Structure 1
Amino acid sequence: MVIGMPAGPDAWSGDTDWVRWVGCMHPGFDRECSSCGATWGGHTAEPLSPIRLLSEAGASFALLPAPSLVNFDYPYTHLVDIELLTPDRLVRYLGRPLSRDALVRLAEAWMRAAQDEHPEQTVSTVQDDAAGLAVVVNLSTPFAVTLEVLVEANLGGDVPEQDGVSFDVARSALIDATHAIEAWLT
């Protein structure tokens, strides 16, 4: 770590991949590890926005980014709080590890559900066992799709207990949610 203003133009030479500049003359270099692909630099990442699907009847499903620096137990995951809302209750399942693969499959399923005439026949259930989450397309109309979201209430429990919500969501909202997932994946 180099702290402060460099002594002169020669101070910039010999910059290696592990040098981090701190101080008034930080060049803002972005770095990438050639082994694992991790990146870092002088720029701070924008916080992730929640991924939320709302119904006109007051129900919703959301994936909320949970605060965590790194989750070594599950590589290539996001820690999320899974939120289920109905007109008479709000439940959050905290700190669930949701895989990148599940997010990709969810984005593909929602985009297809928004576009297909009968997505209940063409879109497969998206499930992530580590997060205890499953999303199913049950019915559709020309303008809306009925989603059922199931969450395993206690991941470590002996007896599986599921919680869930089923609600209609506009096809346009599925497209917006797909773009929100894509922002998480970049």
Structure 2
Amino acid sequence: MAEDRTEDRPPPRGGGATHTGSRGTCPVCASDDVIHLVIGMPALPEDWGSGPVWVEWVGCAHPGYNRRCASCGGTWTASSETTFHSVLEVMAHAHVDTPDDLADWISEEYEHDAWVRVDDHHLEIGFRNRSVTIVYPVREDDLWESLDDLHDELSEELAAERE
């Protein structure tokens, strides 16, 4: 199970911004051994300050990406929106190891218990006899919106049956 690796980086000596954020997971191999590249000034080592070993200050020489996986060597540019490219990324985000654990994690957010089916390209999530198929890539907020809609439909159907 992946651990929460949110840490604060103290500001560089002489002022500057702090580095606060989740370490994240690699979109290629789902490893949590992610290096954050901080691009821009300050560029002198004495101005960098101390911080997590997984943060590298690279100055103004932009390499074209701001994340690198120390496990597989993959590089990418992280955005403020979380986008999942595989079930491994969803599971890493949820800090779970199996589809059953993912179903339990999703169920924590809803009245009805969730179930999960996985194949190489899709993630199917359902409540009772209703489901939605998630096709990658999918933004995190779109995933939750789909699940909210599905859960609401089921809840309305069950309420109508009780009347």
* TM > 0.5: no
Q: Which has the higher helix share?
A: 2
Q: Which has the higher strand share?
A: 1
- With normalisation by structure 2, the TM-score equals 0.27
Bigger radius of gyration among the two: 1
